[in-house]
Amino acid sequence: MPERQSAEPVSESKSAEGGVGREGRKAAQGAAARGAGDAEVGAAAGARAGAGGGKAGKGGEGGGEWEVRHLLIASIKRNPYQPRREFDEASLIRLEESIRQTGLMQPIVVRPGRMEGTWELVAGERRWRAANGAGLAYIPAVVRELTDAQSAEWSLIENVQREDLNPIERAGAFRMLQEQFGLTQAQVAERVGVDRTTVANVSRLMELEEPIRQMISMGKLSGGHGRALLAAPPGSARVTLARRAATESWSVRQLERAAAGLSRGEGEAAKPSAEAEARAASREALAKGLGAHLGTKVRIVTDRTGKRGHLVVEFYGLDHFDGLLAKMGYGG
């Protein structure tokens, strides 16, 4: 496992017998006070070098203390305030394989659970899921004493900073911080690092009907489409309009015009034609088949005629990108 070194070690990693491991000391040196992220990685390396279950070290983060320990994965429960609901399966499988080969570089963050000997996840659910899938019994974790509000805030900020949330997950998280923990839009904006108008606009997506929220979560419509639909009167006509926009791959501007017309009472949104629905089903099946062949997420987006559009193939690293090119028969 790669080791990060510094001139000033933060702690020593002790074995189960109480002795200090040479490799534990060496690896823990990476936890110099250069920020919480570097400290967690270095201390996690020390924890791996020592025995499972032991304390790896302490350091500073925002004036407080943190410690890295090896915790039993089965003792860790999911964060009930986790805003993220969708996890890409192909990406998780790749992370599982990486953990099997090289171990887990960065620890997760937990807080003590309600029952003795249990822990509640705060940040790092993707790593926790992948480590569990890779068959690890123990996982390095930063242990923090946090309130419910702090736990929700940390989980949201981690995902927002990494842009891991889809628009509906983000809207739900903003709304939860306001309704459940009594924060104003300005306070949410300050904590997350966005402006207040962004919080207000994103939060309003939760006013959309459930079928529309599902279409946005699945990527059939964007957050911009959702904001355009807010201009239309709520109800079945708005849901029908959203379905048509998704089926016919409307732009946000097209949907804005249609929503404005519906708001003015210019007739109900027309249902997608049978031909348009057949084209959409064919595109979706083709995208799934191509995605299964390449081992990644694939989207096919066309204009209203279905004759022009673009193909989106996702990759999650340079090695993955090279692998995709090879599967496409491109040798460089």
No. of H helices and E strands in the chain?
14, 8
Last residue of a domain, one of 115, 150, 185: 150
Last residue of a domain, one of 272, 287, 314: 272
Q: What is the mean pLDDT of the chain?
A: 74
Last residue of a domain, one of 86, 121, 150: 150
CA torsion sign, 288 to 293 to 296 to 298? negative
Q: pLDDT per residue over 67-121, tens digit each? A: 688 999 999 998 887 777 677 677 788 888 888 888 888 888 999 888 888 999 9
Q: Specify if 110 maps to a domain.
A: yes
Give CA–CA dist 181/175, Å, rounded.
10
Residues 110 and 85 in one domain: yes
Q: pLDDT per residue over 279-306, tens digit each? A: 777 877 888 888 888 888 888 877 666 6
Residues 104 and 48 in one domain: yes
What local confidence, expressed as pLDDT, does residue 213 receive? 94
Q: Specify if 157 maps to a domain.
A: no
Q: Using 50, 70 and 90 to split pLDDT, how confident is the model at 243?
A: very high
Domain of residue 232, residue span = 222-272
Residues 122 and 239 in one domain: no
pTM of the model: 0.51
Q: List beta partners, residue 312.
A: 299
Tokens of 175: 């709304």
The torsion angles phi and psi of 330, rounded to 5 degrees, stand at -95, 115
Q: Using 50, 70 and 90 to split pLDDT, how confident is the model at 2?
A: very low
Give CA–CA dist 317/108, Å, rounded.
21
Q: What is the CATH number of the domain that holds 33?
A: 3.90.1530.30
Which range has the worst mean pLDDT, 2-11, 47-56, 105-114, 199-208?
2-11
Q: Specify if 182 maps to a domain.
A: no
Average confidence (pLDDT) over 135-162? 83
Domain total of the chain:
3
State the catalytic residue, choosing from 125, 153, 158, 248: 125
Q: List beta partners, residue 305.
A: none
Residues 143 and 228 in one domain: no
Q: Specify if 227 maps to a domain.
A: yes
What local confidence, expressed as pLDDT, does residue 212 receive? 96
Catalytic residue check, 125 = yes
Q: Specify if 304 maps to a domain.
A: yes
